[in-house]
């Protein structure tokens, strides 16, 4: 992997990650952009819930579903400059032009997985997926060293149903100046379990799923994927390395080498849950009687959970007690129907799942690659 760092016209950092060492990256961003330092965000703390909200009013003006030939994540070309100055790339990471977190409030980055506008992460080769993993790891290491950063979160939102406003295959990285509420809950559960049993909660969770077996979707030499016992979403997968590590940086070479094959297989299965992508389905549109609809790609969120960067003594645990894992889920509950967060979920954070986790796991095993 070759890493090349440069600056965009407004001062934001952009980093090329290339598969070949000999690639030269010297293209210059010539767009007339205002300095990036003019935008700011504010972190406000909720006194009742104890969590935080980022206020970033400048995001109202962010790019919204542009035509494909005006995509800001495609390479630049003659007469059409984008966020990527060069005419091609393998993987690119750059500071978000419309960040939720900025300055002392953290940092937001965009990760472009491929220059191919019409692709998806599932379409990448194993070599390309490995390069994305290297980029995630590198950014986790660098962002984690920033004084204001307490937690690094690598994730991908895919599909308009999720709320994605750019169709180009990409993800994001948030560097938070605090420990996120979801991670804080995990850390408290981790400490409580250690106090009650003397064991590690993450280790016991994976061991219990393996012993039960009904919700295991994939079990390889270095990774285990399962639908959790109390899954919140209709189809939800958790992926753990066999050796517990706190973050992407600590993954060993064997787990790192096997990850692309495992992850691409799981993403492929997600696209086949409701029928082969591009095959006739029962989604809206066929009902009109004019033509058969096709099954669209499955919308999903894919999220890496990593240990916070600092000392965790205040939570009653050590950093090495945390287990790196990936959570992958979709809001689609059946073909043509989405799960919307209703009163119980949105108002009280009590989820109601329409799909039994055992049934979801069985379906995800059925759609394995042959």
Lookup result for tokens 């990527």: 84
Q: 53, 46 in Cβ contact below 8 A?
A: yes
> Which residues, 6 or more positions from 251, have their beta carbon under 8 angstroms from its beta carbon?
137, 241, 245, 259, 324
CA angle 262, 268, 272 (to 5 degrees): 140
Q: What is the distance between the alpha carbons of residues 337 and 136, in angstroms, rounded to a whole number? A: 32
What's 280's DSSP letter? B
Angle at 167 between CA 64 and CA 65, to 5 degrees: 20
Give the C-alpha separation, 46 to 54, whole Å: 11
Which among 77, 315, 31 is positioned nearest to 190, based on CA atoms? 315
Tell me which residue has tokens 């009687």: 289
User: 104 near 27, Cβ under 8 Å?
Assistant: no
Contact predicate 220/342, CB 8 Å? no
1, 129 contact by CB (below 8 A): no
On whether the CB atoms of residues 244 and 190 are closer than 8 A, the answer is no
Secondary structure class of 281 (helix, strand, coil): coil
Reading the block at residue 229, the tokens are 């016992």
- The rounded distance, in Å, linking the Cα atoms of 100 and 60 is 11
Largest CA distance in the chain: 64
Catalytic residues: 170
């Amino acid at each position: 992997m070759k890493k090349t760092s440069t600056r965009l016209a407004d001062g934001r950092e952009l980093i090329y990650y290339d598969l070949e060492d000999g690639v030269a990256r010297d293209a210059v961003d010539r767009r007339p952009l205002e300095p990036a330092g003019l935008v700011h965000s504010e972190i406000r703390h909720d006194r009742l819930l104890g969590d935080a909200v980022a206020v970033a009013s400048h995001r109202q003006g962010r790019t919204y579903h542009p035509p494909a030939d005006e995509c800001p994540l495609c390479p630049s070309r003659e007469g059409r400059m984008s966020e990527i100055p060069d005419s091609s790339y393998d993987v690119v990471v750059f500071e978000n032009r419309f960040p939720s977190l900025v300055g002392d409030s953290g940092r937001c980055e965009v990760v472009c997985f491929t220059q191919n506008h019409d692709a998806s992460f599932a379409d990448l080769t194993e070599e390309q997926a490995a390069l994305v993993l290297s980029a995630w790891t590198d950014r986790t290491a660098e962002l984690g060293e920033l004084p204001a950063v307490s937690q690094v979160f690598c994730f991908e939102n895919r599909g308009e149903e999720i709320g994605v406003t750019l169709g180009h295959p990409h993800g994001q990285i948030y560097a938070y100046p605090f420990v996120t509420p979801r991670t804080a809950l995990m850390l408290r559960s981790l400490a409580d379990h250690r106090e009650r049993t003397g064991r590690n909660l993450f280790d016991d969770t994976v061991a219990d799923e393996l012993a039960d077996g009904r919700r295991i979707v994939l079990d390889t030499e270095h990774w285990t994927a399962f639908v959790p016992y109390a899954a919140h979403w209709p189809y939800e997968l958790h992926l753990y390395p066999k050796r517990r590590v706190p973050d992407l940086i600590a993954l060993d070479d064997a787990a790192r080498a096997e990850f692309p094959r495992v992850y691409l297989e799981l993403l492929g299965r997600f696209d086949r849950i409701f029928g082969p992508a591009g095959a006739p389905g029962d989604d809206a549109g066929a009902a009109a009687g004019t033509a058969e609809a096709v099954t669209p790609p499955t919308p999903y969120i894919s999220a890496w959970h990593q240990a916070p960067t600092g000392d965790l003594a205040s939570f009653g645990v050590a950093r090495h007690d945390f287990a790196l894992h990936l959570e992958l889920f979709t809001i689609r509950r059946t073909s043509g129907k989405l799960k919307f967060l209703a009163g119980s979920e949105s108002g009280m954070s009590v989820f109601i799942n329409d799909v039994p986790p055992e049934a979801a796991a069985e379906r995800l095993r059925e759609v394995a690659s042959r």
